[in-house]
């Protein structure tokens, strides 16, 4: 018979680490059917298990293409911006 606290915690999307390890297949099924599931270690939230699609959506576009597209669509894209160059002095050293 399972601990009532374990059943309560799992029922509401929170898992103790040992339960998540022992019932990993069930954890994955619940992620797909109920959404993100939190796993606690020593009473603290440690990780949240989410679907791969949601992870990729949250991670975003690492290529920077979204930024390039946004800048190209800007009505101010033709404004010339030149960086100000400041001469830097180099000191002589003997080798």
Domains of the chain: 4-64 (3.40.1620.10)
pLDDT tens, position by position, 47-74: 999 999 999 888 876 778 888 888 889 8
pTM: 0.56
Distance between CA atoms of residues 46 and 80, nearest Å = 48
pLDDT of residue 90 exceeding 80, the answer is yes
Q: Provide φ and ψ at 5, rounded to 5°.
A: -65, -40
Higher pLDDT, 63 or 18: 18
Residue 17: predicted pLDDT: 95
Q: How far is CA 79 from CA 18, 30, 65, 68, 82, in A?
A: 58, 51, 21, 16, 10
Residue 1: predicted pLDDT: 59
């Amino acid at each position: 018979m399972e601990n009532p606290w374990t059943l309560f915690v799992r029922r509401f999307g929170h898992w103790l680490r040992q339960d998540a390890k022992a019932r990993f297949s069930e954890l994955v099924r619940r992620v797909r059917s109920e959404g993100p599931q939190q796993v606690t270690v020593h009473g603290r939230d440690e990780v949240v298990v989410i679907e791969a699609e949601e992870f990729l959506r949250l991670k975003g576009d690492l290529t920077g293409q979204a930024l390039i597209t946004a800048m190209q669509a800007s009505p101010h894209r033709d404004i010339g911006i030149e960086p100000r160059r400041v001469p830097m002095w180099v000191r002589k050293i003997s080798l």
